Chains A and B, each alone.
Chain A
Amino acid sequence: MNTTDQRQMELTLPMVPDIEIAAARAAANLARELGMSPERIDEMTHAIIEACINAREHGCCDDNRIYLRFVGTSEGNGSRIEVWVTDRGSGFDPEEARSRRAAPGTAHKRGRGLQLIEAHMDEVDISTSKDGGTTIHMVKYEKKS
C-alpha cells in the first residue's frame, strides 16, 4: 500500500538583497524531507532564486514583499514539489521577455532568468497583469526508479 506524505509551507519575505537565498533554503529543506535527490533540489533552488529576482525586478510595489507557497508530496513512486512565487507589482510580459533571448547556447547578458526557470523545472506557468502582480507557478518531480 502506498502512503502519501504532504507538507505545506508559506513564507512572506521582504524584497531585500539576497532574500532569494532564504526562499531557496526553505524549499531545499522541504525537498530533502521528501527524499528528493540533491541534483533535483539544486535545479529547483536555482529556479526559485530566478523567480525571486524576477519579483524584485518587476514586482516593485508598495508592500515590497514576495509571497511564497510550497506544497511537497512524497508517495511510493517519488516526490513532487509545487512552488508559487507571487509579487503584487506591475507585472511583466513573459512573451516579450522570451523574445529578448538569444538563440539557445549563445551568450546573452540579460533576460535569461525565465529561460533558466523553464530549463530547471518540469512545469512552469506564469500569470501576470499590470497592477495585478505576478505569480510564477513551478513544479519539480522526481520519480523513483
Chain B
Amino acid sequence: MTEELKVSVDRKSNGAVLYTKGYINNVGGEEIANRAYELMDDGVRILLLNLRETKIVNSIGISILIEIIEKMMDQGGKIAFCCLTPVIHKTFQIMGLANYAAIFDSEDAAVKELRLNN
C-alpha cells in the first residue's frame, strides 16, 4: 500500500506557499524537499508550508523537513509552518522544529507575519 503525498505551490513575489496533502513519510518528505530546493534555487528565501491537508507525519519525514530548514537557514532564508493538527504541532515541538521554524495557526496569520506579498 502506498500513501502518496501531493504538493502544490503558490508562488508569491517574495516567496512561496507550499501546500501538502497526505502522509509525510520518507517519500513525502523527499517530494517536499525537491519542491523546496527548486524554489530555493530559484531565489525563494521565504517559504511557508501549509499542512492543512496533512494528518499524519512520521519521524523520517520530519527529519527531512529539518534538513530543508537547515538548508534554507544556510542560505539566509526562513521556513514557517501553518495549519497543523494538534498532534503534528506536538510532534514538531518534540522533534525540535519549533525552535528553528515559526508555527502559525492560520495561513493569513503566517502571510501577515512573514510579509509574503501576492
What is A's interface to B at a CB cutoff of 8 Å?
16-22, 24, 39, 42-43, 45-46, 49-50, 53, 102, 104-110, 112-113, 115-116, 119-120
Q: Which residues of B contact A46 (CB under 8 A)?
A: 56-58, 87, 91
What is the CA–CA distance of A50 and B91 in the complex, to the nearest angstrom?
Answer: 12
* Minimal Cβ-Cβ distance residue in B for A44: B87
Instruction: Categorize the interface residue count of chain B.
Output: 20 to 34
Given the known interface contacts A45-B56, A49-B56, A116-B94, the answer about A109 and B2 at a Cβ–Cβ threshold of 8 Å is: no
* Minimal Cβ-Cβ distance residue in B for A13: B1
Q: Which residues of A contact B94 (CB under 8 A)?
A: 104-105, 112, 115-116, 119
Query: Chain A binding site: helix, strand, loop or mixed by DSSP?
Result: helix
B13 CB within 8 Å of chain A: no
Query: Chain B binding site: helix, strand, loop or mixed by DSSP?
Result: helix
Given the known interface contacts A106-B96, A119-B94, the answer about A19 and B87 at a Cβ–Cβ threshold of 8 Å is: no
What is the CA–CA distance of A46 and B57 in the complex, to the nearest angstrom?
Answer: 8
Q: Which residues of B contact A107 (CB under 8 A)?
A: 66, 69-70, 95-97, 99-100
Q: Mark B86-111, 1 if CB is under 8 A from A, else 0.
A: 11001101111111100000000000
The 8 Å CB contact of B96, one of A50, A105, A110, A120, is A105
B25 CB within 8 Å of chain A: yes
What is B's interface to A at a CB cutoff of 8 Å?
1-3, 23, 25, 27, 55-60, 62-63, 66-67, 69-70, 85-87, 90-91, 93-100
Beyond the given pairs A39-B87, A107-B97, A107-B100, 14 more chain A to chain B contacts, judged by CB atoms under 8 angstroms and listed by A's residue number, are A17-B2, A18-B23, A22-B1, A39-B86, A45-B56, A49-B58, A53-B59, A53-B60, A105-B96, A107-B70, A109-B67, A110-B60, A116-B94, A116-B95
